[in-house]
Copies of this chain bind each other. A is one copy, B any other.
Amino acid sequence: MEFAEYFPVWQKLTPRQQERVARGLVYRTVPKGARLYDGSMDCLGLLVLRSGRLRVYILSEDGREITLYRLFARDICLLSASCVMNSLQFDVTIEAEADTELWLIPAGLYKPLMEESAPLANYTNEVMAARFTDVMWLVEQIMWKSLDKRLAAFLAEECALEHTTRLHTTHETIGNHLGSPREVVTRMLRYFQSEGWVKLSRGTVEVLDEERLRALGET
């Protein structure tokens, strides 16, 4: 069963527990741009990514966004199953940034299984600790790092993810990732352009000096 390779704790479940998971598992393909989950939906369950990319972000009342982290193949999405833990009380939105294939372990199946299985509960702990660490990294970025460095790091990361230096994105989208107003992003991008690191045109940011941006992002 292919799923077993993507779910490291599989071998520590009893045969009966494995059977329950196998029976309840839902395979899904999600097109790029689709919203899988938001605070208004019923609790979904755990997502195990086979391929693709998900973005997990928070949304303010007035529509501003900030990206918490992204998930890739073999990553586990826990915040889509927040009902599994009573104390997990914040809402995130999850959308596919690329065509994505995934397995869903429904919350109603996962919760009782986690309550009886120490290995599964410990595994869930590790997944949550990893996400918590991602968010703490973000807090440190926001608090200690100026926007130029965060923007540089973001552009370098996008080039790596998209395998191109020609990024089709708007200043607004970038602002949503970084939690900054569009105007502030535009101003900083123009500064980057004046330094010769990027070239701006409508709907596109062309990265001319990826190494320089990466270096700036890492300072």
Interface residues of A, Cβ cutoff 8 Å to B: 58, 60-61, 64, 66, 85-90, 114-118, 121-122, 124-133, 135-140, 142-144, 179
Contacts and interface: CB of A to CB of B under 8 A. Distances in A.
B90 A137 contact: yes
A127 B118 CA distance: 16
Contacts of A127: 87
A30 to B, nearest CB: 24
B128 A129 contact: yes
Nearest to A61: B144
Nearest to A126: B87
Given A118-B117, A135-B139, A144 B64 contact: yes
B129 A60 contact: no
Given A60-B144, A64-B143, A90-B136, 15 more contacts: A58-B136, A60-B140, A64-B144, A66-B143, A85-B126, A87-B126, A87-B130, A87-B133, A89-B133, A118-B118, A121-B122, A128-B128, A128-B129, A132-B135, A142-B143
